[in-house]
Amino acid sequence: MATVSRTDPAIQDILDYWFGLSPNDWFMGSVSQDAIIKERFAPLVEKARLTDELDATWTSTPSGSLALVILLDQFTRNIFRVGNHEDPGLSFSGDVKALRLASEAIAKGYDRRIQQENESKPLLGIPHRYFFYLPFMHAENLPSQIACRALFEVMKQEGEVAQLKRLAEGKEDSEAEKTIQDLVEKGGEFSQKHLDCVSALGRFPKRNEPLGRGHTEAERQWLEVHPMGF
């Protein structure tokens, strides 16, 4: 089996594509976007999901680690989305590995390094850091949900400190800074909703149908109040 270089151009291809999209594209998606991701990245998604061929070299850098996390935690949700694939439960098939890789990356400080490496970008590298945290939000276990809530809270507090410094210097927030504030604020809100759901039920009932799981009575009642499933 050929060895993949740590400078594999696929890493930058993934990051350039994903971070070239808007926040609305990341979280709302579309049939056309799903099709593009499937056409361009499905072989890499399968390699990341089913083998460890990329792991050693890609995880040696912040960019490579983030690209792997995006393959496993985001592109799976595009490629195997309900209505796109005969087995939509595969949408979640990369979650366990994505969480492990994200945990290892954060332990090495890659979440902050990736932000620093991309701080010249329009959104100052914040989205790059953000996507290291989403595997925690997607995890059906309480410790990961608690960690996710803490990670987003730290990022929010750091943004508030930066905003205070700008105010002290007489500077107004730029449009990019406003977009970042909104992104981080919503991330914190959704992390709390996911935490509440897993605290109450131990899992996300919205996943039950694609995973072939039955609803408990508590989950049925939850879905009546929280139709998004978290």
Residues 14, 42, single domain; the answer is: yes
Write the pLDDT tens digit of every residue in 55-107.
Answer: 999 999 999 999 999 999 999 999 999 877 889 999 999 999 999 999 999 99
| pLDDT tens-place string over residues 20-58 | 999 999 998 899 999 999 999 999 999 999 999 999 999
Is 132 inside any structural domain?
A: no
Residues 7 and 75 in one domain: yes
Backbone angles phi, psi at 85, to 5 degrees: -145, 145
Do 97 and 144 have their domain in common? no
| Pairwise CA distance, residues 202 & 230, whole Å | 11
Give 83 or 140, the one with higher predicted confidence. Answer: 140
Q: What is the per-residue burial (b if ≥16 Cβ within 10 Å, else e) of 3-42?
A: ebeeebebbeebbeebbeeeeeebeebeeeebeebbeebe
In a domain, 227, yes or no: yes
From the CB of residue 98, how many other CB atoms can be counted at a distance below 10 Å? Answer: 27
Q: Are residues 102 and 182 in the same domain?
A: no
Per residue in 175-192, pLDDT (tens digit) is 999 999 999 999 999 999
* Residue 189 forms part of a structural domain: yes
3 contacts: CB under 8 Å, gap ≥ 6: 57
* Whole-angstrom distance, CA of residue 82 vs CA of residue 90: 10
Q: In whole angstroms, what is the distance from residue 127 CA to residue 115 CA?
A: 8
Q: Say yes or no to pLDDT of 1 above 70.
A: no
pLDDT of residue 207: 95
Q: Read off the pLDDT band of 17 (50, 70, 90).
A: very high
The band of 122, judged by pLDDT with boundaries at 50, 70 and 90, is confident
pLDDT reported for residue 15: 98
149 lies in the same domain as 220: yes
The angle that helices 126-137 and 9-19 make with each other, rounded to 10 degrees, is 90
> What residue numbers bound the domain in which 119 lies?
1-125
Same domain for 144 and 60, yes or no, is: no
Q: Into how many domains does the chain fold?
A: 2
pTM of the predicted model over 0.75: yes
Q: Are residues 52 and 15 in the same domain?
A: yes
Alpha helices in 20-141 (DSSP H): 23-28, 31-50, 55-58, 62-70, 76-79, 95-107, 110-117, 126-137
